[in-house]
Amino acid sequence: MIEIIIVGSGGHGAELDEYISYANQLKGSQEFKVIGFLDDNPDNYANYMLSAPLLGGVRDHIIRKDCHYIMGIANLLYRKRFVEQYQAQGAVFAKLIHPTAYISPSATIGMGVVIGPMANIGPNARIGDFTLINSRCSLGHDTHLGKYNFISPNVCFSGFTTIGDENLFGINSATIPLIKVGNRNKIAAGMVLDKNVNDDSVVFHRFKEKVMAIPK
Protein backbone atom coordinates (compact mmCIF):
# COMPACT_ATOMS: atom_id res chain seq x y z
CA MET A 1 0.00 0.00 0.00
CA ILE A 2 1.25 3.46 -0.97
CA GLU A 3 0.44 6.37 1.30
CA ILE A 4 -0.59 9.48 -0.63
CA ILE A 5 -0.64 13.21 0.07
CA ILE A 6 -2.87 15.14 -2.34
CA VAL A 7 -1.56 18.62 -3.17
CA GLY A 8 -4.67 20.79 -3.24
CA SER A 9 -8.01 20.26 -1.50
CA GLY A 10 -10.36 22.05 -3.88
CA GLY A 11 -12.67 20.44 -6.41
CA HIS A 12 -9.97 18.55 -8.27
CA GLY A 13 -8.40 17.29 -5.06
CA ALA A 14 -11.82 16.07 -3.93
CA GLU A 15 -12.24 14.18 -7.21
CA LEU A 16 -8.88 12.46 -6.75
CA ASP A 17 -9.85 11.48 -3.22
CA GLU A 18 -13.02 9.83 -4.51
CA TYR A 19 -11.19 8.11 -7.39
CA ILE A 20 -8.88 6.45 -4.87
CA SER A 21 -11.75 5.51 -2.57
CA TYR A 22 -13.71 3.96 -5.43
CA ALA A 23 -10.70 2.02 -6.71
CA ASN A 24 -10.04 0.61 -3.24
CA GLN A 25 -13.68 -0.45 -2.85
CA LEU A 26 -13.71 -2.09 -6.27
CA LYS A 27 -10.51 -4.04 -5.63
CA GLY A 28 -11.35 -4.89 -2.04
CA SER A 29 -7.90 -3.74 -0.96
CA GLN A 30 -5.98 -0.50 -0.58
CA GLU A 31 -3.44 0.21 -3.32
CA PHE A 32 -3.37 3.86 -2.25
CA LYS A 33 -4.24 5.36 1.14
CA VAL A 34 -4.78 9.12 1.33
CA ILE A 35 -3.15 10.35 4.52
CA GLY A 36 -3.69 14.06 4.05
CA PHE A 37 -4.15 17.16 1.93
CA LEU A 38 -2.14 20.34 1.41
CA ASP A 39 -3.77 23.70 0.70
CA ASP A 40 -2.85 27.32 1.39
CA ASN A 41 -6.56 28.14 1.70
CA PRO A 42 -8.27 26.14 4.48
CA ASP A 43 -11.67 27.20 3.10
CA ASN A 44 -11.07 24.90 0.12
CA TYR A 45 -10.66 21.95 2.46
CA ALA A 46 -13.81 22.90 4.39
CA ASN A 47 -15.95 22.79 1.22
CA TYR A 48 -15.65 19.03 0.75
CA MET A 49 -16.07 15.82 2.74
CA LEU A 50 -12.51 14.58 2.34
CA SER A 51 -11.14 11.30 3.66
CA ALA A 52 -8.05 12.63 5.43
CA PRO A 53 -6.94 15.72 7.39
CA LEU A 54 -5.49 18.98 6.14
CA LEU A 55 -1.77 18.72 6.85
CA GLY A 56 -0.86 22.34 6.13
CA GLY A 57 -0.07 24.68 3.28
CA VAL A 58 1.40 23.92 -0.13
CA ARG A 59 4.12 26.57 -0.17
CA ASP A 60 5.67 25.78 3.23
CA HIS A 61 5.32 22.00 3.14
CA ILE A 62 8.42 20.00 4.02
CA ILE A 63 8.71 17.07 1.63
CA ARG A 64 8.21 13.64 3.12
CA LYS A 65 10.14 10.66 1.77
CA ASP A 66 7.84 8.05 3.37
CA CYS A 67 4.91 8.69 1.00
CA HIS A 68 4.01 9.69 -2.54
CA TYR A 69 2.24 12.78 -3.81
CA ILE A 70 -0.55 13.38 -6.34
CA MET A 71 -1.02 16.86 -7.81
CA GLY A 72 -4.55 18.05 -7.13
CA ILE A 73 -4.16 21.66 -8.31
CA ALA A 74 -5.88 22.12 -11.66
CA ASN A 75 -4.42 25.54 -12.55
CA LEU A 76 -1.62 24.81 -15.02
CA LEU A 77 0.67 27.60 -13.82
CA TYR A 78 0.64 26.52 -10.17
CA ARG A 79 0.49 22.85 -11.08
CA LYS A 80 3.82 22.98 -12.90
CA ARG A 81 5.43 25.35 -10.38
CA PHE A 82 4.75 23.15 -7.38
CA VAL A 83 5.55 19.89 -9.15
CA GLU A 84 8.99 21.24 -10.05
CA GLN A 85 9.50 22.68 -6.55
CA TYR A 86 8.53 19.43 -4.87
CA GLN A 87 10.59 17.27 -7.22
CA ALA A 88 13.65 19.43 -6.58
CA GLN A 89 13.20 18.61 -2.90
CA GLY A 90 12.94 14.88 -3.56
CA ALA A 91 9.18 14.31 -3.77
CA VAL A 92 7.93 11.21 -5.59
CA PHE A 93 4.66 11.57 -7.54
CA ALA A 94 2.30 8.70 -8.25
CA LYS A 95 0.16 8.23 -11.35
CA LEU A 96 -3.55 7.61 -10.80
CA ILE A 97 -5.75 5.75 -13.27
CA HIS A 98 -9.42 5.31 -12.50
CA PRO A 99 -10.42 1.63 -12.66
CA THR A 100 -13.19 2.29 -15.19
CA ALA A 101 -10.76 3.79 -17.73
CA TYR A 102 -9.61 1.66 -20.66
CA ILE A 103 -5.88 1.81 -21.32
CA SER A 104 -4.46 0.08 -24.37
CA PRO A 105 -1.61 -2.30 -23.53
CA SER A 106 0.56 -0.40 -26.02
CA ALA A 107 -0.13 3.04 -24.52
CA THR A 108 2.60 4.88 -22.56
CA ILE A 109 1.62 6.81 -19.44
CA GLY A 110 4.05 9.30 -17.88
CA MET A 111 4.85 10.18 -14.29
CA GLY A 112 2.16 11.90 -12.25
CA VAL A 113 -0.53 11.43 -14.91
CA VAL A 114 -4.16 11.30 -13.74
CA ILE A 115 -6.76 9.53 -15.89
CA GLY A 116 -10.40 9.89 -14.88
CA PRO A 117 -13.49 7.67 -15.10
CA MET A 118 -14.55 6.12 -18.40
CA ALA A 119 -11.61 7.54 -20.34
CA ASN A 120 -10.39 5.64 -23.39
CA ILE A 121 -6.67 5.58 -24.22
CA GLY A 122 -6.07 3.96 -27.59
CA PRO A 123 -3.23 1.92 -29.11
CA ASN A 124 0.21 3.57 -29.20
CA ALA A 125 -1.09 6.64 -27.38
CA ARG A 126 1.50 8.53 -25.32
CA ILE A 127 0.67 10.78 -22.37
CA GLY A 128 3.43 13.01 -21.01
CA ASP A 129 4.21 13.64 -17.34
CA PHE A 130 1.63 15.38 -15.15
CA THR A 131 -1.02 15.59 -17.83
CA LEU A 132 -4.59 15.37 -16.55
CA ILE A 133 -7.06 13.33 -18.60
CA ASN A 134 -10.55 14.01 -17.26
CA SER A 135 -13.59 11.78 -17.28
CA ARG A 136 -14.93 10.36 -20.55
CA CYS A 137 -12.04 11.61 -22.67
CA SER A 138 -10.99 9.61 -25.71
CA LEU A 139 -7.47 9.48 -27.14
CA GLY A 140 -7.45 7.84 -30.54
CA HIS A 141 -4.69 5.54 -31.70
CA ASP A 142 -1.23 7.11 -32.01
CA THR A 143 -2.25 10.28 -30.18
CA HIS A 144 0.75 11.88 -28.45
CA LEU A 145 0.40 14.39 -25.61
CA GLY A 146 3.27 16.27 -23.96
CA LYS A 147 3.61 17.37 -20.33
CA TYR A 148 1.33 19.38 -18.05
CA ASN A 149 -1.75 19.38 -20.25
CA PHE A 150 -5.23 19.83 -18.79
CA ILE A 151 -7.78 17.85 -20.81
CA SER A 152 -11.34 18.62 -19.69
CA PRO A 153 -14.20 16.08 -19.64
CA ASN A 154 -15.52 14.67 -22.93
CA VAL A 155 -12.57 15.82 -25.04
CA CYS A 156 -11.93 13.61 -28.07
CA PHE A 157 -8.62 13.44 -29.92
CA SER A 158 -8.76 11.64 -33.26
CA GLY A 159 -5.99 9.32 -34.40
CA PHE A 160 -2.46 10.70 -34.93
CA THR A 161 -3.20 13.92 -33.02
CA THR A 162 -0.04 15.49 -31.56
CA ILE A 163 -0.28 17.86 -28.59
CA GLY A 164 2.64 19.77 -27.00
CA ASP A 165 2.98 20.95 -23.40
CA GLU A 166 0.84 23.03 -21.02
CA ASN A 167 -2.30 23.18 -23.15
CA LEU A 168 -5.85 23.55 -21.86
CA PHE A 169 -8.64 21.84 -23.79
CA GLY A 170 -12.14 22.90 -22.74
CA ILE A 171 -15.02 20.51 -22.26
CA ASN A 172 -16.34 18.77 -25.40
CA SER A 173 -13.52 20.03 -27.63
CA ALA A 174 -12.07 17.71 -30.26
CA THR A 175 -9.60 17.27 -33.11
CA ILE A 176 -9.87 15.73 -36.54
CA PRO A 177 -7.11 13.22 -37.43
CA LEU A 178 -3.47 14.33 -37.86
CA ILE A 179 -3.91 17.69 -36.08
CA LYS A 180 -0.82 19.19 -34.39
CA VAL A 181 -1.07 21.60 -31.45
CA GLY A 182 1.95 23.38 -29.95
CA ASN A 183 2.47 24.63 -26.40
CA ARG A 184 0.56 26.81 -23.90
CA ASN A 185 -2.64 27.07 -25.93
CA LYS A 186 -6.20 27.42 -24.69
CA ILE A 187 -8.85 25.63 -26.71
CA ALA A 188 -12.34 26.78 -25.75
CA ALA A 189 -15.17 24.44 -24.89
CA GLY A 190 -16.86 22.82 -27.86
CA MET A 191 -14.19 23.74 -30.42
CA VAL A 192 -13.36 21.21 -33.15
CA LEU A 193 -9.82 21.74 -34.42
CA ASP A 194 -9.56 21.18 -38.15
CA LYS A 195 -6.31 23.17 -38.51
CA ASN A 196 -2.98 23.02 -36.72
CA VAL A 197 -2.34 25.42 -33.82
CA ASN A 198 1.11 26.87 -33.04
CA ASP A 199 2.04 28.23 -29.58
CA ASP A 200 0.42 30.65 -27.10
CA SER A 201 -2.92 30.90 -28.87
CA VAL A 202 -6.53 31.02 -27.75
CA VAL A 203 -8.89 29.16 -30.08
CA PHE A 204 -12.44 30.42 -29.80
CA HIS A 205 -15.16 31.23 -32.26
CA ARG A 206 -18.91 31.14 -32.40
CA PHE A 207 -20.64 28.93 -34.90
CA LYS A 208 -23.19 30.69 -37.09
CA GLU A 209 -26.13 28.40 -37.50
CA LYS A 210 -29.30 28.83 -39.51
CA VAL A 211 -32.24 27.48 -37.57
CA MET A 212 -35.09 26.22 -39.73
CA ALA A 213 -38.54 25.54 -38.34
CA ILE A 214 -40.27 22.82 -40.32
CA PRO A 215 -44.03 22.63 -39.76
CA LYS A 216 -45.49 19.22 -39.03
Give the pTM. Answer: 0.91
Rama region for 134: left / alpha / beta (φ>0; ψ in -120 to 50; rest)? beta
Same domain, 58 and 104: no
| Short-list 189, 215, 212, 213, CA closest to 202 | 189
d(CA 74, CA 144): 21
Q: Taking 60 as the threshold, does the pLDDT of residue 211 lie above it? A: no
Say how many domains are in the chain. 2
Euclidean distance between CA atoms 82 and 62, whole angstroms: 12
Are residues 73 and 101 located together in one domain of the fold? Answer: no
- Whether 215 maps to a domain, the answer reads no
Same domain? For 159 and 122 the reply is: yes
Sign of CA dihedral 44, 50, 55, 61: negative
Q: Angle at Cα 45 formed by Cα 187 and Cα 50, nearest 5°? A: 95
pLDDT (average), residues 185-212 = 85
Identify the pLDDT of residue 216: 57
Q: What is the pLDDT of residues 26-51, one digit of tens each?
A: 887 788 999 999 999 999 999 999 99
Q: Domain check: are 72 and 23 in the same one?
A: yes
* 172: Cβ contacts below 8 Å, ≥ 6 apart: 152, 153, 154, 155, 189, 190
pLDDT at 56: 97
For the stretch 125-178, pLDDT in tens is: 999 999 999 999 999 999 999 999 999 999 999 999 999 999 999 999 999 999
What is the dihedral sign for C-alpha 5, 6, 10, 16?
negative
User: pLDDT digit string (tens) for 117-127?
Assistant: 999 999 999 99
CATH code at 127? Answer: 2.160.10.10
Q: Do 13 and 70 form a contact (C-beta atoms < 8 A)? A: no
> For 121, phi and psi rounded to 5 degrees?
-115, 110
Whole-angstrom distance, CA of residue 216 vs CA of residue 214: 6
Look up the domain containing 42 and give its range: 2-94
Query: Do both 89 and 22 map to the same domain?
Result: yes
